[in-house]
Amino acid sequence: MEDILDVEKLAKLYQRRYSYILDIKNITDELSEALSGEDGTTAEIILDERMSAIERVEDSWQKIREMGEIGPKAAFDANRLIFCAPDEIEPENEDEKAVKHIRLKTQLLIKELQEQDKFLNKRLAREESYYKD
């Protein structure tokens, strides 16, 4: 195996991760609706589905990290493309541009999802919420 980071494959993995996070967002939307209707049974089912989606995100993140472990050169490129903040990436080719674009898009989606989670947590836990004001 060569010590070269396959950036095209990396972009595909990031796209897959983005899709999984989008699934979490959609499932969280469903959860909000179920909780609005006071439907605890449906909410439990949706929470299980959400946990499975989170596990898929974790698995995809593990695969992304493993891409930089094939050797020192791949590790250097991986550090630049995987572990630097997305807005700090200076792409050297189209595949790297794709990685940067997907990571920026994912970052925005994660922030949106965090806000949604914060709202749900406050609503459900009230005084015991981690986020209480």
Query: Could you report the per-residue pLDDT of 27-69, keeping only the tens digit for each?
Result: 999 998 888 887 778 888 999 999 999 999 999 999 999 988 8
Q: Is 71 left (phi over 0), alpha (psi -120 to 50) or beta?
A: left
Split at pLDDT 50, 70, 90, the class of 132 is low
- Contacts of 121 by beta carbon, 8 Å cutoff, 6+ apart: 129, 130, 131
Greatest mean pLDDT range, 3-12, 15-24, 34-43: 15-24
Query: Could you report the per-residue pLDDT of 88-105, keeping only the tens digit for each?
Result: 999 999 999 999 999 999
pTM > 0.85: yes or no: yes
* Distance between CA atoms of residues 4 and 63, nearest Å: 16
The amino acid that residue 27 corresponds to is: I
* Distance between CA atoms of residues 128 and 130, nearest Å: 6
